[in-house]
Amino acid sequence: MVRYVYDFTEGGRDMADLLGGKGSNLAEMTRLGLPVPPGFTLTTEVCRVFLETGSEPAGLWREVSAHLAALEASAGRSLGQPDDPLLVSVRSGAKFSMPGMMETILDIGLNDDSVLGLAKVSGSERFAWDSYRRLVQMFGSTVMGVDSSRFERSLALLKVRRGVQDDVRLTASDLAELVETYKNLIHLETGAHFPQSPAEQLRRAVMAVFESWNGERARLYRRREHIADDLGTAVNVQRMVFGNLGSDSGSGVAFTRDPATGRPGLYGDYLPDAQGEDVVAGIRNTVPLAELERLDATSYDGLRTHMRTLERHYRDLCDIEFTIERGTLWMLQTRVGKRTAEAAFVLAAALADEGLITPDEALDRVSGEGLARLMFPRFDTSSTGTALAHGVPASPGAAVGAAVFDSAQAVRRAAAGEKVVLVRQETTPDDLPGMIAAQAVLTSRGGKTSHAAVVARGMGKVCVCGAEELTVDTEARRFTAADGTVIREGTIVSVDGSAGAVYAGPVPLVDSAVIRYLEDGTGDGGARGVVDAVARALVRADTVRRLDVRANADTPEDAARARRFGAQGIGLCRTEHMFLGERRKLVEQMILAGTDAEREEALADLLPLQRQDFVGILEAMDGLPVTIRLLDPPLHEFLPDHTELAVRIASAQARGEEPDAHDVELLSAVNRMHEANPMLGLRGVRLGLVVPGLVAMQVRAIGEAVAERLLAGGTPKAEIMVPLVGDVRELRLVREEVQRVLAEVSRAAGVALDCPVGTMIELPRAALTAGRIAEEAEFFSFGTNDLTQTTWGFSRDDVEAEFFSAYLDKGVFSTSPFETLDREGVGRLVGIAVAEGRAARPDLKIGVCGEHGGDPDSVHFFHTAGLDYVSCSPFRVPVARLEAGRAAL
């Protein structure tokens, strides 16, 4: 029989699929013997059934009742018992943590009777009424759908009337009055009453949590984090413990190490006399965890011990939620904590040093995406003026943008292409769209564990929070710094998430320490920890990876940089830029040539220029392979724009002048060469086959460059790559010409030239006939950009802006197939081509040179597909090295 409910004593961390992250970790802590209030978990399966059928599975409530009865028995009182009520929380918890995205309801079991019982047994009327008003508010908003700001307004109003600033200053009778106000508000808004039956409260709260899985906020978060929509959430029902029982009670959140830097030490926030949700919400300002040592040394020591236990047990950074009830410490949540990219590297190295994890595990704990983030530029602090304010450096990086004060405005401006910084007093899950749209998030309240900090860190977004010197006025759309500077909406600010500083105006950027290390092997003192950790991860990756990593580079400078970044050659040297600039004239002459002689003359002029380019690149990559692709784009790309020419001619005619003869000639060439679908037109190998002399000139330039480098004592390793081949005969024809020209050059120069000839696989037909093509190709290189376009039948330039966002919204794609290789379709073609190519030619060398070569997920695919190398832009080379290593684990 299927079970739908598990007691905390029955689960464990390996059951996250069924019990969710929160539930499985509560069970794990229970098993470890940590002080966890007892409870039970309704599985994600219940949620899936509910989402599919619209109602809960049969028999669920019978199971829940049995577990509740056991909970009541162990507590010696029943849910909502009037003289001494057992209270529970109903907590959401999916497999992957979705901070603040779903609902949790505390203090279930309180009603007009049991609140009095609670007051009596606890000896605190104030506490009882405070708990009750929390329940009515949470239940009213989450379950009954009353806008939570309505409750907050009533609370604020009451505080004004009582002349107090802080919730804790409200008396028991104030709070009792507030409960009445809330109940009336609910009735007014919904026509229904707040339910007095504890059983009904529990049942409805559970259903509301399941429903919150499909809330707009939760869906948006999942899309952004690539979490599947059909996982569902579990629901945890847990005995309440109370942090709001006075000054010897409180709630807090903590990390076993600093989640921003990875450095050791306890980090966290504590709030005396508060229930858990107050800490994260930033309602009152928290105190640092160290303060707890002074307030309650016993609990502090206990907390430290438990945190050590957890870190050893999970062998990773953990974050936790805890509550102290009258001096007794309770653990309410733990999970492997989110961290910044910097912290991930530092922590992995440290845990390996401590022997908690192996070097391979350390490599697995970091990511190429994280490394890419560490390679972003930083602010040049030497030239910055004084900061407007300092806050908590919650999520590192440098961001410059226009200040905006609400989520909608952030989204609007970002959609118009503007870079924005979202400034709030604190953020709530409703701000999520704005946080996604913004370059950075800046808040005046909250600590490292506030909503803004946690969510920004998860997204890799720059965040400074708790900048208390700032007065943020969202209504007036401005903030004021301590020195009186007023920043209005639209004013540029710079946010330094690493230092926790905010500046007016744009601050210039400099290379990150990681880039400096990659460039010249040095780091700077301050960032030593992260630079060393990155270096160690890369060394490990290089040791274990099977894939080689090459770079896409067209200039000697790029080639040299790629080499410093660890590239083992060039996988794609495009020749098109060599036809631009001043050389455009020569290309024009070639295109316009009326006779063979004219064309040959133009080609002859291009030859020495191309040769010099190749010499430079071969020199920079001496000893390593350089794959040079013959000219690929349609020729008309090298001609002037049609409209421009037409206008020039028309305006000459309008002035009564004779139009420039050259212009006229050009225009007719442009017209002649016009293509409806240039992407599918006269380009690639087709050009080489129809424009006489074009291939010969390029190959001669390559051959002569190789000869020159050989004679200079170098070790040039040029490979000649033919683009857009769809049939083996195309390749055969070009290859014959290549070999003829190379032979000529070789004879003339008196050196042997050994340049392998291969082809790109970027058309479905090429992949499907790869066995034939391999007869003529010494290597394959997947051009996955074109292969994606031609497999899907859409042109990247035309569709990305147009309908991709709709496709992402509707879930047709979870990521753009131009970013992450579409394994199902394009990947299948890759698989066929690899298998059939190698069958025909066992020593066929196979690589990829599309942009996917630097995408982490795609690198893993290419590893599995058995490729020899990936090639990507120079800045992605370290990322690809790291991911190729991780793929080999």
Active site residues: 451, 849
What does the chain come to in residues? 889
Neighbours of 564 (CB within 10 A): 14
| Tokens describing residue 328 | 């007794």
214/184 Cα distance (integer angstroms): 29
Q: Closest CB to Mg ion among 103 and 588?
A: 103
Among candidate residues 374, 626, 667, 625, the one with its CA nearest the CA of residue 517 = 374
Residues 6+ apart with CB under 8 A from 316: 336, 337, 347, 351, 357, 365
Using CB under 5 A as the binding rule, the residues of this chain from 94 to 113 that contact Mg ion are: 104
- Between 115 and 618, name the residue whose CB sits nearer to ligand ADP: 115
Do residues 339 and 42 make contact, with C-beta atoms less than 8 angstroms apart? no
* HEC assignment per residue over 648-696: HHHHHHHCCCCCCHHHHHHHHHHHHHCCCCHHHCCCCHHHHHHCCCHHH
Q: Which is nearer to ligand ADP, 321 or 786 (CB)?
A: 321
**DSSP-derived 3-state class of residue 444:** coil
Q: Whole-number minimum distance, CB 145 to ligand ADP, in Å? A: 19
Nearer to ligand ADP, 241 or 518 (CB): 241
Binds 277, which of Mg ion, ligand ADP, none (CB < 5 to 8 A, cut-off by type)? ligand ADP
First to last CA, the chain: 38
| Identity of the residue, 130 or 321, whose beta carbon is nearer to Mg ion in the bound complex | 321
Q: Give the β-pairing of 462-465 and 440-443.
A: parallel
Q: Does 286 bind Mg ion (CB under 5 A)?
A: no
The residue range among 43-51, 326-334, 466-474, 825-833 that interacts with Mg ion, by the rule CB under 5 A, is: 326-334
Beta carbon of residue 252, minimum distance to ligand ADP (angstroms, whole number):
9
- Picked from Mg ion, ligand ADP, none, the partner binding residue 629 (CB below 5 to 8 A depending on kind) is none
Choose the contact partner of 85 out of Mg ion, ligand ADP, none; CB within 5 to 8 A by kind.
Answer: none
Query: Least distance from C-beta 447 to ligand ADP, angstroms?
Result: 14
**Closer Cβ to ligand ADP, 268 or 276, answer by number:** 276
Cβ(826)–Cβ(787) below 8 Å: yes
Binding segment (CB under 5 A) for Mg ion, from list 141-149, 328-336, 699-707, 779-787: 328-336
**With CB cut-offs between 5 and 8 Å by kind, which of ligand ADP, Mg ion, none does residue 716 bind?**
none
Q: Which does 473 bind (CB under 5 to 8 A by kind): ligand ADP, Mg ion, none?
A: none
- The site partner of 276 among ligand ADP, Mg ion, none (C-beta below 5 to 8 Å per kind) is ligand ADP
- Amino acid letter, residue 828: R
Cα–Cα distance, 294 to 252 (Å, whole number): 15
240 interacts with, out of ligand ADP, Mg ion, none, CB within 5 to 8 A per kind: ligand ADP
By C-alpha distance, which of 439, 443, 442 is closest to 509? 439
Comparing CB distances to Mg ion, the nearer of 221 and 300 is 221
The position carrying tokens 């309770």 is: 330
**Binds 858, which of Mg ion, ligand ADP, none (CB < 5 to 8 A, cut-off by type)?**
none
* Nearest distance in Å: CB 278, ligand ADP: 8
The stretch near Mg ion (CB under 5 A) out of 329-337, 636-644, 818-826, 856-864 is 329-337
User: Which residues of this chain interact with ligand ADP, rule CB under 6 A?
Assistant: 37, 89, 91, 100, 104, 106, 238-241, 275-277, 321, 323, 332-333
Question: Which value, in Å, is the radius of gyration of the alpha carbons in the chain?
Answer: 33
Q: Which of 322, 340, 368, 373 is nearest to 453 (CA)?
A: 340
In whole angstroms, how close is the CB of 105 to ligand ADP at the nearest point? 9
Joined together, the tokens standing for residue 882 give 């790291």
Residue of the chain from 333, 443, 781, 858 that contacts Mg ion (CB under 5 A): 333
At closest approach, how far in Å is the CB of 99 from ligand ADP?
6
CB of 26 to Mg ion, least distance (A): 11
CB under 8 Å to 342, separation ≥6 — which residues? Answer: 260, 261, 262, 374, 396, 498, 530
CB of 626 to ligand ADP, least distance (A): 53
Pick 71 or 551: Cβ nearer ligand ADP: 71
Residue type, 283: I
Tokens of 563: 């080499």
Tell me the C-alpha distance between 53 and 552, whole Å. 52
Give dist(CA 69, CA 78) in Å, integer: 8
Which residues of this protein are in contact with Mg ion, per CB under 5 A? Answer: 104, 321, 333
